[in-house]
Amino acid sequence: AQKVTQAQTEISVVEKEDVTLDCVYETRDTTYYLFWYKQPPSGELVFLIRRNSFDEQNEISGRYSWNFQKSTSSFNFTITASQVVDSAVYFCALTLNTGNQFYFGTGTSLTVIP
């Protein structure tokens, strides 16, 4: 069975602080894909990144960076110099190469305080 765990339910940081959102996944498949989505107060899920299980290179996109470690089954997301607009619920998700659905974590609600 597949499972995604986001142990941090809520995080609050002061603007300009760095923050890391944790994601741990479980699967026995060797080929899988990991995603991060952002859900702002408006409700619409916004795609942030996708990684496949064979690509462990970390990725940086502006203030966002992702650390994928197969050894610990983790795909963590760091926001550098957080801004108020980063306030949202962030979801980590897993899908299998052989499957047809996303398995979402329960989300981490991030509040950036000005």
Partner 1 sequence: DTGVSQDPRHKITKRGQNVTFRCDPISEHNRLYWYRQTLGQGPEFLTYFQNEAQLEKSRLLSDRFSAERPKGSFSTLEIQRTEQGDSAMYLCASSLGSGSYNEQFFGPGTRLTVL
Instruction: Give the footprint of partner 1 on this chain (CB under 8 A).
Output: 4, 9, 33, 35, 37, 42-47, 50, 52, 91, 93, 95-97, 99-107
Q: Retrieve residue 38's tokens.
A: 């952002």
Shorter beta-carbon distance to partner 1: residue 64 or 104: 104
Shorter beta-carbon distance to partner 1: residue 18 or 55: 55
Shorter beta-carbon distance to partner 1: residue 13 or 49: 49
Q: Cα(first)–Cα(last) distance of the chain, in Å? A: 41
Which residues sit opposite 95 in a β-bridge? 33
Q: What's the closest the beta carbon of residue 43 comes to partner 1, in angstroms? A: 5
The DSSP output letter for 50 is E
